[in-house]
């Protein structure tokens, strides 16, 4: 009798729970918002990647073309950006398609990001990652070619994207990559959110690339928001370097160039990304009033 009554109570509880779910605006506690995964083979470096694609919540109910955001370092940057846009999109900033590009499949994460995000070969850089990662460094060109020739065309083919608003988000080595794109193929994105860029890399190679760029260009049509935490000078001169780059860029007076630089007080290299992302999104995708 006891077991029969217990089973009846359990059944009643399950029925009530199912009824509540049917009538409540219930969301799963993990893995929301949902995203699509697309595997893609890079022709430029012969590596396989995954694209993680989050569509705006209004996507299925409209015929709108949406801005898109590309993020790297998807172990942290994609879920944070994904969640931020689920919260902010349509309320604080324009809704957008979020696209995360994974590390190359089958490779060590540090090897993949060092190879893909660094512009020059720097095998003995004391501030770099592991020895195998440093030995793989210097292939940002191939990675950027992959983004330009395969990732963006795929997005244009499969999704309703607004090509007039293309946002790049990168932090640390990802910020170094974003700065490299800015000086090598600035047309690739309209907006850049660059956090804590590793401008120290290879004896400040990015300053040399900017100088080369300035010799042949009077315009730099891009909206750039750069951020760094105030505590990031503790290990590398990241604050000093970013402010030095800001001074150089402002002195060039590039046509069509909009620059925002901010030092976020009390933040270090590991804490700064969520705050800079929020500020960067509001700069890049302001909601029309």
Domain coordinates of the chain in residue numbers? 31-284
Side-chain-side CA neighbours of 118 within 13 Å: the count stands at 27
Instruction: Give me the residues paired with residue 66 across strands.
Output: 161
Using one digit for the tens of pLDDT, what is the confidence trace for 112-159?
A: 999 999 999 998 877 777 888 899 999 999 999 999 999 999 999 999
Using one digit for the tens of pLDDT, what is the confidence trace for 58-90?
A: 999 999 999 999 999 999 999 999 999 999 999
Give the integer Cα–Cα distance in Å for 68 and 152.
10
- Give domain 31-284's CATH architecture: 3-Layer(aba) Sandwich (3.40)
The model carries a pTM of 0.88
pLDDT for residue 172 is more than 90: yes
Query: How crowded is residue 24: how many other Cβ atoms within 10 Å of its Cβ?
Result: 8
pLDDT for residue 285 is more than 60: yes
Per-residue pLDDT at 127? 74
Contact by Cβ (8 Å): 77, 100: yes
Give the integer Cα–Cα distance in Å for 183 and 186.
6
Concatenated DSSP letters of 143-162: HHHHIIIIIHHHHHHHS-EE
pLDDT band at 33 (very low <50, low <70, confident <90, very high): low
pLDDT for residue 16 is more than 60: no
Distances (CA, A) of 228 to 17, 57, 145, 175, 265: 47, 31, 27, 10, 9
């Amino acid at each position: 009798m006891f077991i029969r009554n217990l089973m009846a109570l359990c059944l009643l509880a399950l029925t009530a729970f199912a009824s509540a779910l049917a009538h409540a605006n219930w969301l799963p506690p993990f893995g929301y918002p949902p995203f699509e995964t697309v595997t893609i083979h890079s022709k430029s470096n012969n590596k396989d990647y995954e694209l993680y694609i989050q569509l705006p919540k209004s996507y299925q109910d409209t015929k709108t073309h949406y801005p898109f955001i590309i993020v790297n370092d998807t172990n942290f940057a994609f879920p944070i950006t994904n969640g931020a846009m689920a919260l902010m999109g349509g309320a604080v900033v324009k809704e957008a398609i979020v696209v995360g590009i994974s590390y190359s499949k089958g490779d060590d994460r540090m090897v993949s990001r060092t190879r893909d995000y660094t512009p020059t070969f720097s095998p003995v850089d004391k501030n770099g990652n592991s020895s195998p990662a440093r030995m793989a460094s210097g292939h940002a060109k191939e990675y950027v070619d992959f983004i330009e020739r395969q990732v963006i065309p795929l997005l244009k083919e499969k999704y309703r994207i607004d090509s007039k608003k293309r946002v790049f988000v990168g932090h640390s080595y990802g910020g170094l990559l974003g700065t490299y794109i800015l000086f090598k193929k600035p047309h690739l994105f309209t907006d850049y959110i660059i956090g804590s860029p590793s401008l120290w890399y290879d004896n400040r190679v990015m300053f040399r690339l900017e100088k080369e760029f300035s010799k042949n260009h009077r315009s730099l049509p891009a909206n750039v928001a750069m951020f760094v935490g105030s505590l990031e000078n503790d290990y590398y001169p990241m604050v000093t370097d970013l402010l030095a780059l800001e001074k150089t860029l402002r002195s060039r007076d590039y046509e069509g160039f909009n620059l925002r630089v901010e030092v976020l007080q009390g933040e270090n290299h590991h804490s700064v990304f969520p705050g800079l992302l929020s500020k960067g999104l509001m700069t890049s995708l302001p909601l029309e009033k």
